[in-house]
Amino acid sequence: MHRLLLLFAVMFGGVCSVSAQAGLVIQGSVQNVSGAPVANGTYSMTFRLYETETGGTPVWSETQDAVQVTGGIYSVSLGSVTPLTAPFNVVYYLGVSVSGADELIPRARLTSSPYAMSLLGETNLFPSTGSVGAGTITPDSRVQLQTENTGGTGKLLVEGSNDAAIRFKKGSNSASITFDGDKITIQDMNLTLSDDLNLPAGVEIKYNGLSAWRLIDRDDFGSGSEGWTCVDDWTNNTSRTFQRFTPNTPFSQGFILRPDQNGNDVMKKKFDLTGIPHTRVRVVFTYHFFDTWDFPESGWAGFASQLNPYTAPAQSNGYFQTGWVGEHPAEFNFIGVGYVNFFPGTNQSIADGNTRAEMIAQHTGNDFWLLFGSSLDEVASNESYGISNIEIWVQ
What percent of the chain shows pLDDT beyond 90? 32
pLDDT of the residue at 296: 83
- Whole-number Å distance between alpha carbons of 365 and 240: 28
Instruction: For 100-151, write each residue's pLDDT tens digit.
Output: 888 888 888 887 654 454 455 444 455 556 666 665 666 666 666 667 777 7
Q: Which residues partner with 132 through β-bridges?
A: 145
The CATH number assigned to the domain with range 2-109 reads 2.60.40
Q: Give the residue with greater pLDDT, 3 vs 197.
A: 197
Tell me the C-alpha to C-alpha distance, in Å, between residue 76 and each of 34, 35, 51, 187.
24, 22, 21, 52
Of 307 and 174, the structure prediction assigns the larger pLDDT to: 174
User: pLDDT tens, 281-310?
Assistant: 999 999 998 887 887 889 999 998 877 655
| Average of per-residue pLDDT values in the chain | 78
> pLDDT tens, 14-67?
333 333 344 688 888 888 777 788 899 999 999 999 999 999 999 999 999 999
Kindly report the pTM of this predicted structure: 0.54
**Cβ partners under 8 Å of residue 312, min gap 6:** 235
Domain ranges in the chain are 2-109, 219-394
- The answer to whether residues 216 and 394 touch, using CB atoms and an 8 Å cutoff, is yes
Residue 223 pLDDT > 90: no
Determine the average pLDDT of the residues in 154-174: 85
Instruction: Classify 219-394 by CATH class.
Output: mainly beta
* 130 Ramachandran zone, left/alpha/beta (phi>0; psi -120 to 50): left
For the ranges 243-252, 349-358, 365-374, the maximum mean pLDDT occurs at 365-374
Q: Tell me: the pLDDT tens digits for 63-87?
A: 999 999 999 899 999 999 998 877 7
Tell me which of 256-270, 295-309, 339-353 is least confident.
339-353
Residue 165 has pLDDT above 60, yes or no: yes
